[in-house]
Amino acid sequence: MIGIGPGDIEYLSLKAYKLLQQVEVVVGYTTYIELIDELLSPDQQIISTGMGGEKERAEKAIARAAGGQSVAVISSGDPGIYGMAGLILEILKRRKEKKSAADSIEVEIVPGITASTASAAALGAPLMHDHAVISLSDLLTPWDKIKKRIKAAASSDMITALYNPRSSQRTEQIKIARDIFLDHCSPETPAGIVRSARRGEDEEVVITCLKNMLDHRIDMLSTVIIGNSSTYVDEGMMLAEDGAMITPRGYEL
Ligand code: SAH
């Protein structure tokens, strides 16, 4: 399982870079295969599937590995953060219980730069203090549970990174999440929206506040970072167009 980072191959680890060139088979979501396309050679077999094909990809990868091939399953960011690593380990555990050939598969997990840290770097230094990462996707997690976690983060003054904030079908969750934050935090709390972080020219960075965050484009390519009560915007630091978002660690200056 290989994390390919946020998109631009410059942000790939050297380990991931080497392994991607060595393996016989590369399995991944079509968009992610395209992101690393220039590293791959015609000798390698590519198995790509569309969005939502996670189980199918995992099964195919395991079948190839069980047949003796070296296989890289790629995830964007880090494979262990809403990626493929957990699913594959779970399937392997099941197979082991059934004593199938997958017993002999050797597994390695190569971490990658996840969307929260890639987005934080584009915004400044918003994650300098304790923070929570919450996915707003309720496809695999009940929405009530997600809301509880949002409340817990908002009420404990955690900086919060929201993954999967909004899709064409899921448009309400981000509004509800914002309202929960407003119940606990100042409307002026800085909020950053980063779209396609570290994907070259495609990167878009907006620094706004809780009150106004819904006025900006938020979609499945975006990560939203909501600050804590100490987070502020340095408008003079032109890291992003709107300045830089900073959460003090607490040093005396
Ligand atoms: N394994 C991935 C996360 C997959 S969930 C990781 O560790 O980053 C998919 C969500 O991640 C997207 O909806 C978006 O919220 C976020 N994401 C992934 N890549 C991103 C990028 N380059 N810029 C901003 N957000 C990104």
Asked if the model's pLDDT at residue 102 lies above 70, the reply is no
What mean pLDDT is predicted for residues 221-233?
98
| Residue with CA closest to ligand 1 atom 17 | 115
Tell how far the Cα of 205 is from the centroid of ligand 1, in angstroms: 14
Domains of the chain: 2-104 (3.40.1010.10), 115-246 (3.30.950.10)
pLDDT per position as a tens digit, 3-20 = 999 999 999 999 999 999
Using CB atoms within 10 A of its CB, is residue 22 exposed (0-12), middle (13-18) or buried (19+)?
Answer: exposed
Specify the residue for token string 């994390």: 3
Q: If pLDDT is split at 50, 70 and 90, which confidence band does 100 have?
A: low
Tell how far the Cα of 191 is from the centroid of ligand 1, in angstroms: 17
77 in contact with ligand 1, CB cutoff 6 A:
yes
Specify the residue for token string 């099941």: 94
pLDDT per position as a tens digit, 34-87 = 999 999 999 999 999 877 789 999 999 999 999 999 999 999 999 999 999 999
117 in contact with ligand 1, CB cutoff 6 A:
no
Please state whether the predicted TM-score (pTM) of the whole model is above 0.85. Answer: yes
Res 239: pLDDT: 83
Indicate the residue type of 28.
G
Res 242: pLDDT: 84
| CA 148 and chain centroid, separation | 21
Among the listed residues 110, 96, 84, the one whose alpha carbon sits nearest the alpha carbon of residue 27: 84
Res 157: pLDDT: 98
Asked if the model's pLDDT at residue 101 lies above 60, the reply is no
pLDDT per position as a tens digit, 129-149 = 999 999 999 999 999 999 999
**Percent of the chain's residues with pLDDT above 90:** 90
**Percent of the chain's residues with pLDDT above 70:** 98
Res 97: pLDDT: 86
133 in contact with ligand 1, CB cutoff 6 A:
no
Res 238: pLDDT: 81
Encoded tokens for 9: 């191959």
The whole-chain average pLDDT of the chain stands at: 95
pLDDT per position as a tens digit, 157-203 = 999 999 999 999 999 999 999 999 999 999 999 999 999 999 999 99
Burial code (b: 16+ CB inside 10 Å, e: under 16) for 199-209 equals: beeebbbbbbb
Sequence-distant (6+) residues with CB within 8 A of 170 are 136, 137, 138, 164
Q: If pLDDT is split at 50, 70 and 90, which confidence band does 118 have?
A: very high
29 in contact with ligand 1, CB cutoff 6 A:
no
Encoded tokens for 85: 């690593």
Instruction: Supply the DSSP string of 70-123, one letter for each residue.
Output: -EEEEESB-TTSSSSHHHHHHHHHHHHHTT-GGGG-----B----HHHHHHHHH
Asked if the model's pLDDT at residue 246 lies above 90, the reply is yes
Query: Which of the two residues, 241 and 126, has the higher pLDDT score?
Result: 126
Q: What is the CA radius of gyration of the chain?
A: 20
